[in-house]
């Protein structure tokens, strides 16, 4: 019993404040969000309330906790490579944001709230700008798990087709375990800062699909169809991160390659 769960909701500021007061944490990793880009076009206000204002609620609770206890609680804020949107790759901490979805707009707002609270109140807040990071625990409606799950089902004869959206988009896909180490490292530094976390290598959705079907000895072209339902009204064409700052300041480097992923 070293892990204790508490009910909370980013829409419930009083509840967040109570959890923080009761647990008196040393570090907070704020990963909560409505994080699906396509869903954010269907539920934009909910996404803003959770991802942007939800972050503000948590920062307000953090500010009061630090004031009340005199303790410097370290706070990690999960930004997103989606904030770069249409900005030309490779993207680093100096690249302007150009968000292309309600999700990304909300994440940009949360990022600037976090910067403002760091500067205004001297709080230890680090912003991670993580590029796509994947693992077996990724939600099944995100590309990587949607594809790998379908490959397994097709190989077992349980499914005939896989319907996808835009195959031309390029993403910088890394392994979530590597990226979580980077989050932790950010909170172990003397000073808080903002960091891009990425592999520096990008691949198209098509390449990902080809590799995943290839693992099972299948030709993806026989199984994959496109369905406009999965096309986003505004797409992010090409994300490729430059994690030089994380390399030099955190000594961080990804360990799992695209092919291994």
What is the binding site for ligand GDP (CB under 6 A)?
37, 82, 132, 141-143, 146, 164-166, 169, 171, 205, 230, 232, 235
Select 82 or 242, whichever has its Cβ closest to ligand GDP: 82
- Alpha carbon distance 66, 181 (integer Å): 25
**Could you tell me which of 74, 48, 81 has the C-alpha nearest to residue 186?**
74
Select 43 or 166, whichever has its Cβ closest to ligand GDP: 166
Instruction: Find the helix or strand (DSSP H, E) in which 54 lies.
Output: helix 54-69
Select 17 or 171, whichever has its Cβ closest to ligand GDP: 171
**Nearest to ligand GDP by Cβ — which residue?**
169
Minimum distance of ligand GDP from residue 258's CB (angstroms): 14
- Alpha carbon distance 197, 172 (integer Å): 10
Pairing of the two strands 170-171 and 203-204: antiparallel
Minimum distance of ligand GDP from residue 55's CB (angstroms): 18
CB of 35 closer than 8 Å to CB of 81: no
Minimum distance of ligand GDP from residue 100's CB (angstroms): 10
Minimum distance of ligand GDP from residue 75's CB (angstroms): 23
- 224: helix, coil or strand? strand
Select 20 or 172, whichever has its Cβ closest to ligand GDP: 172
Pairing of the two strands 224-226 and 162-164: parallel
**Paired tokens of 179:** 């990226």
**Paired tokens of 235:** 């797409």
Active site residues: 80, 82, 103
């Amino acid at each position: 019993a070293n892990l204790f769960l508490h009910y909370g909701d980013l829409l419930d500021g009083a509840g967040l404040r109570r959890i923080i007061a009761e647990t008196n944490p040393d570090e907070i990793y704020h990963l909560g969000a409505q994080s699906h880009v396509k869903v954010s076009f269907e539920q934009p206000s909910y996404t803003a309330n959770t991802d942007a204002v939800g972050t503000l609620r948590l920062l307000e609770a953090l500010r009061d906790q630090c004031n009340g206890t005199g303790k410097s609680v370290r706070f990690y804020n999960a930004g997103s490579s989606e904030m770069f949107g249409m900005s030309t790759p490779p993207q680093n901490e100096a690249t302007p944001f150009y968000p292309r979805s309600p999700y990304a707009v909300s994440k940009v707002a949360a990022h600037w709230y976090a910067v403002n609270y760091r500067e205004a109140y001297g709080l230890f807040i680090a912003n991670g700008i993580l590029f796509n990071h994947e693992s077996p625990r990724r939600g099944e409606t995100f590309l990587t798990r949607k594809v790998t799950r379908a490959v397994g089902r097709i190989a077992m004869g349980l499914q005939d087709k896989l319907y996808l959206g835009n195959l031309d988009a390029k993403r910088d896909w890394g392994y979530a375990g590597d990226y979580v180490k980077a989050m932790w490292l950010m909170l172990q530094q003397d000073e808080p800062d903002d960091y891009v976390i990425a592999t520096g290598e990008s691949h198209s959705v098509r390449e990902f699909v080809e590799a995943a079907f290839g693992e099972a000895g299948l030709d993806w072209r026989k199984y994959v169809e496109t369905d406009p339902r999965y096309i986003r009204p505004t797409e992010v064409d090409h994300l490729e991160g430059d994690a030089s700052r994380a390399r030099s300041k955190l000594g961080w480097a990804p360990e799992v390659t695209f092919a291994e992923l």
